[in-house]
Amino acid sequence: MDLIEAMKGRHSVRAYLDKPVPQEVVEAVLEAARFAPSGVNTQPWRVAVVDGEAKVRLGAALEAARRGGVEPDPDYHYYPEQWREPYQGRRVACGKALYGALDIGRGDRERQLDAWCANYRFFDAPLGLLFFMDRDMGRGSWLDMGMFMQNVMLAARAHGLESCPQASLADYPKIVRRELGLEEDRLLLAGLALGYADASAPVNGYRLDREPVPAFTTWHR
């Protein structure tokens, strides 16, 4: 797949075929992704791959917490405490497009909760990835992690796979670390659903607008 095509065609896939992803394919994706840049070659990324019963158990534990009213307690704040334009408008448009594709009404709290909990099951993708880094790393390492995750998503497309990056899987890091037997010094950043896309699913059919280059670029000569 052409690199530019891979970049422009990537989108968050939320429905997958019931088709396993061979371990060697996942390893090939990570083999390519590991060449992401990082400050002074620190390579802060740590990846946990979950599939089979481990994925089922983890998803059940996270969903039980959410449905049981346990407040999320992430290791960091992904979103701003106060929303403002243009970000609030983009957020609203994203939510409308997603719920519209799922045919969920604005006041349908039960189905909205069901849709949110699908995050914890990695949208029933055959496997999921969880991204960690050591808690004592600096802010620059967050940039490194973003570049590594993007490499994972692009490399996945080269192998016929699609993905969905998920900040929601960092809602309950203590549960994740407990279920996976990881130490507290591992900071959980996000998860990623990975598998073969179900092209027939309506939720995979919508797209969100992107700002044109002049809207976010200034030239200084």
Residue-wise pLDDT for 112-126, tens only, equals 999 999 999 999 999
CA 4, chain centre distance (Å): 21
Can you give the C-alpha Rg of the chain in angstroms? 18
156: its two tokens: 């996945």
For the chain, residues with pLDDT lower than 70 are none
Decide: 166 and 122 in contact? Cβ < 8 Å: yes
CA atoms within 13 A on the CB side of 113: 11
Residue 81 has a pLDDT of 94
CATH number of 3-79+119-206: 3.40.109.10
State pTM to two decimals: 0.95
Query: What is the SS3 assignment for 66?
Result: helix
